[in-house]
């Protein structure tokens, strides 16, 4: 067996123990600080949070609900300040409003929810000595994007008849973004964000009689009558029986330029329409941009986009204009994974095949490029708007819910978190394969994808599993061969990040081992490869999101604290972070060393 050395640089901390505390817990010698909470002022004139008197106009100027993806940008013009970009994925009305009646939401509550979705851009003051971060309310760069902010469609499906509605007969302009989950930073300074479970906002799919439309709606998870939030009562566009194309205007990757508050946000049709989890870029040696993307659904797919054009360096107007088109002209691909062990050795338990690894090769299958479709029976516009149906036709590999993806900053290996798949191997459902090796997969796995010749534009790759997650005492788990009595249990990997030393960090959502979710560091090289160490835990009912790991800080978004069945403000599942008598508030947390110093050093 392997003899682990001491922890590599960046991972030298004593792991925190799994727990059920209503708190963020961090290792000994570290301290934490809440940076910004749901309802804290962002725009000039925003009032302080007042849970008893919430108003939509106030919420539209305050930090939104359920922070997920986080990006932290440098502000070249202002030293000791940083620019935070945060997604606000969705709302938990029953936790936000005392006495909420889910059958009869008020217009004010619905409009608060619209304003609590979307994104926030907030300048932060950085205190040099302690590393503390504090929002600069009212800064000119601060911005809120909500469910009603105008967006422009760009790329090959902009203006398509499939995107036209009675409010927008041009098919080029849509109000708002919804269910923004993960994201990514581009090399040209913009931020990408994925619209994920948009289906839940749209009502009355059951009333659609046209067979083709009904099949398309079903493939994207639309079913039934009234929506959970009843938004269709307040805006007809959320009723697909009245406005059938409005739903086609969600499920895209969006791009915003946080350094330019005047720039309009865009929805990028060239990257396809799915339940976009995240979008992470990598550059080819000749400067083309490749975007890796997962579709977070049981048995859905892993994609990439390769631009035709090359990134122009610099921040001048000409370069920015050029770079704005990189995500409009290119080729969209979907992945097919093949195992190298006999199928009979993949028995669904997680037991390793005889060659000792879950591994193999794969290929990228082109779906469309500009106006050209590679999918028989579908136009390019149909491929972009109904990308799942295109991928179904070309034999892509049905994965265990692709969540975040992150290319290693120096090796180029692409890491994918496959969070779980309770239906793998169920009656009438696909069984195990080498990349998705467990039936009734409750804990998920992490895949490494190595592009051929390490060229991100390659059409072939090899792959292997880094982790098969769960309780290390469970024989169906795998930690890259690291001794399993020396790792932290980990379940349901979701968001991924790299630290400056090249260690992978994994945030979890839905820990099926019975403890709260958390953040874990994992060594990837040498004797310590596969050593998972838990760095923090989040409060009851929360998932860990948006990890950013810098030399001297870790930033996480604590999403949906207190989200438990039946929890309400009167009967809270969590009172984090403000304590008893206060609503639970999704918030961003900054973790630093006591007395300063490097993370994990
Ligand atoms: Fe919003 Fe797939 O996590
Ligand atoms: Ca194998
Ligand atoms: Ca996620
Ligand atoms: Ca998630």
What atom in ligand 1 is closest to the CA of residue 179?
Answer: 1
List b or e across 545-569, with b for residues whose CB sees 16 or more CB atoms inside 10 angstroms.
Answer: bbbbbbeebbbbbbbbbbbeeebeb
Helix (H) or strand (E) holding 402: strand 402-407
- Residue 3 clears pLDDT 70, i.e. is over it: no
Torsion angle in degrees (nearest 10) through CA of 207, 208, 214, 216: -110
Confidence at residue 386, expressed as pLDDT on a 0 to 100 scale: 99
What is the largest distance, in Å, between two alpha-carbon atoms of the chain?
Answer: 66
What atom in ligand 1 is closest to the CA of residue 181?
Answer: 1
- Residue 278 clears pLDDT 70, i.e. is over it: yes
- Dist CA 400 CA 299 (whole Å): 6
What atom in ligand 1 is closest to the CA of residue 68?
Answer: 1
Percent of the chain having pLDDT more than 90? 95
Confidence at residue 315, expressed as pLDDT on a 0 to 100 scale: 75
295 lines ligand 1 (CB under 6 A): no
Task: Kindly give the distance from the C-alpha atom of residue 290 to the centroid of ligand 3, in angstroms, as a whole number.
Answer: 21
Q: Is 335 helix (H, G, I), strand (E, B) or coil?
A: strand
Task: Kindly give the distance from the C-alpha atom of residue 293 to the centroid of ligand 1, in angstroms, as a whole number.
Answer: 12
> Tokens 């003051």 correspond to what residue?
125
Mean pLDDT of 36-45: 98
Q: Are 279 and 271 contacting, i.e. CB atoms less than 8 angstroms apart?
A: yes
196 lines ligand 1 (CB under 6 A): yes
Q: What is the mean pLDDT of the chain?
A: 97
403 lines ligand 1 (CB under 6 A): yes
Mean pLDDT of 40-52: 97
Task: Kindly give the distance from the C-alpha atom of residue 403 to the centroid of ligand 1, in angstroms, as a whole number.
Answer: 6
- Residue 596 clears pLDDT 90, i.e. is over it: no
Confidence at residue 316, expressed as pLDDT on a 0 to 100 scale: 79
Ligand 3 is a single-atom ion; what residues have CB below 5 A from it?
A: 181, 494
Give residue limits of the domains in the chain: 30-196+251-593
543 lines ligand 1 (CB under 6 A): no
270 lines ligand 1 (CB under 6 A): no
The residues pairing with 239 across neighbouring beta strands, listed in sequence order, are: 203
Mean pLDDT of 83-94: 98
277 lines ligand 1 (CB under 6 A): yes
Contacts of 348 (CB under 8 A, 6+ apart): 424, 425, 431, 432, 437, 438, 439
- Reported as a single tens digit per residue, the pLDDT across 146-178 is 999 999 999 999 999 999 999 999 999 999 999
Tokens of 363: 């290929």
- Residue 1 clears pLDDT 70, i.e. is over it: no
Tokens of 47: 């009032």
Confidence at residue 6, expressed as pLDDT on a 0 to 100 scale: 83
What atom in ligand 1 is closest to the CA of residue 419?
Answer: 2
Ligand closest to CA 296: 1
- Residue 2 clears pLDDT 70, i.e. is over it: no
Mean pLDDT of 69-81: 93
The residues pairing with 305 across neighbouring beta strands, listed in sequence order, are: 291, 332
- Reported as a single tens digit per residue, the pLDDT across 525-578 is 999 999 999 999 999 999 999 999 999 999 999 999 999 999 999 999 999 999
Task: Kindly give the distance from the C-alpha atom of residue 113 to the centroid of ligand 3, in angstroms, as a whole number.
Answer: 20
367 lines ligand 1 (CB under 6 A): no
Q: Are 590 and 37 contacting, i.e. CB atoms less than 8 angstroms apart?
A: no
Backbone φ and ψ of 237, nearest 5°: -65, -20
- Residue 355 clears pLDDT 90, i.e. is over it: yes
Torsion angle in degrees (nearest 10) through CA of 382, 386, 388, 394: -10
Q: Are 495 and 510 contacting, i.e. CB atoms less than 8 angstroms apart?
A: no
Task: Kindly give the distance from the C-alpha atom of residue 361 to the centroid of ligand 4, in angstroms, as a whole number.
Answer: 27
Confidence at residue 168, expressed as pLDDT on a 0 to 100 scale: 98
Strands 266-268 and 253-256 turn out to be: antiparallel
Length of the chain: 601
3-state secondary structure 289-329: EEEEEEECCEEECEEEEEEEEECCCCCCHHHHHHHCCCCCC
Nearest CA to ligand 1 atom 1: 181
Strands 150-154 and 266-268 turn out to be: parallel
- Residue 66 clears pLDDT 90, i.e. is over it: yes
Mean pLDDT of 308-314: 94
- Residue 205 clears pLDDT 70, i.e. is over it: yes
Confidence at residue 5, expressed as pLDDT on a 0 to 100 scale: 72
- Dist CA 479 CA 523 (whole Å): 10
Confidence at residue 557, expressed as pLDDT on a 0 to 100 scale: 98
CA nearest neighbour of 30 among 444, 519, 372, 374: 519
């Amino acid at each position: 067996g392997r003899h682990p050395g001491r922890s590599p640089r960046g991972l030298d901390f004593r792991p925190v123990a799994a727990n059920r505390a209503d708190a963020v817990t961090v290792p000994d010698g570290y301290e934490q600080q809440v940076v910004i909470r749901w309802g804290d002022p962002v725009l000039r004139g925003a009032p302080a949070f007042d849970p008893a008197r919430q108003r939509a106009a106030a919420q539209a100027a305050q930090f939104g609900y359920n922070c997920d993806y986080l990006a932290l940008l440098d502000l070249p013009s202002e030293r000791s300040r940083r620019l935070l970009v945060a997604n606000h994925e969705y709302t938990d009305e029953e936790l936000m409003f005392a006495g909420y009646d889910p059958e009869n939401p008020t217009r004010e509550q619905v409009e608060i929810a619209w304003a609590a979705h979307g994104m926030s851009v907030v300048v932060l003051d950085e205190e040099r000595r302690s590393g503390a971060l504090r929002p600069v309310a009212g800064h000119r760069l601060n911005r809120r994007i909500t469910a009603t902010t105008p967006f422009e469609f760009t790329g090959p499906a902009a203006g398509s008849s499939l995107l036209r509605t009675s409010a927008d007969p041009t098919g080029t302009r849509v109000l708002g973004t919804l269910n923004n989950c993960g994201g990514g930073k581009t090399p040209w300074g913009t931020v990408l964000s994925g619209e994920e479970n948009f289906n839940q906002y749209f009502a009355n799919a059951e009333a659609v009689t046209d067979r083709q439309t009904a099949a398309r709606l079903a493939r994207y998870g639309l079913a039934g009558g009234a929506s959970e939030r009843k938004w269709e009562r307040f805006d007809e566009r959320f009723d697909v029986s009245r406005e059938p194309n409005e739903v086609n205007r969600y499920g895209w990757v969006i791009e915003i330029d946080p350094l330019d508050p005047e720039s309009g946000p865009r929805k990028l049709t060239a990257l396809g329409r799915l339940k976009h989890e995240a979008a992470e870029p990598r550059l080819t040696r000749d400067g083309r941009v490749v975007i890796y993307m997962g579709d977070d659904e049981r048995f859905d797919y892993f994609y990439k986009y390769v631009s035709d054009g090359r990134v122009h360096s610099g921040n001048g107007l000409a370069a920015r204009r050029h770079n704005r088109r990189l995500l409009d002209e290119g080729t969209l691909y979907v992945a097919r994974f093949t195992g190298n062990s006999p199928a009979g050795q993949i028995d669904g338990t997680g037991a390793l095949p005889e060659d000792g690894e879950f591994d193999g090769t794969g290929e990228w299958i082109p779906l469309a490029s500009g106006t050209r479709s590679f999918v028989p029976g579908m136009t390019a516009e149909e491929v972009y708007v109904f990308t799942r149906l295109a991928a179904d036709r070309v034999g892509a590999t049905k994965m265990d819910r692709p969540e975040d993806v992150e290319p290693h900053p120096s090796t180029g290996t692409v890491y994918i978190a496959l969070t779980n798949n309770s239906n793998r191997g169920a009656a009438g459902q696909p069984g195990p394969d080498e990349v998705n090796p467990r039936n009734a997969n409750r804990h998920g796995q992490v895949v490494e994808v190595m592009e051929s010749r390490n060229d991100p534009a390659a059409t072939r790759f090899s792959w292997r599993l880094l982790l098969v997650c769960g309780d290390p005492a469970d024989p169906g788990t795998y930690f890259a061969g690291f001794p399993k009595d020396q790792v932290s249990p980990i379940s349901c990997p979701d968001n991924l990040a790299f630290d400056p030393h090249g260690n992978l960090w994994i945030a979890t959502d839905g820990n099926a081992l019975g403890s709260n979710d958390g953040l874990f560091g994992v060594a990837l090289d040498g004797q310590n490869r596969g050593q998972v160490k838990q760095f923090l835990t989040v409060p009851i009912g929360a998932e860990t999101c948006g990890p950013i790991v810098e030399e001297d800080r870790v930033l996480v978004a604590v999403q949906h604290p207190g989200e438990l069945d039946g929890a309400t403000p009167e009967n809270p599942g969590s009172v984090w972070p403000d304590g008893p008598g206060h609503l639970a508030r999704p918030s961003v947390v900054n973790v630093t060393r006591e007395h300063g110093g490097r993370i994990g050093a």
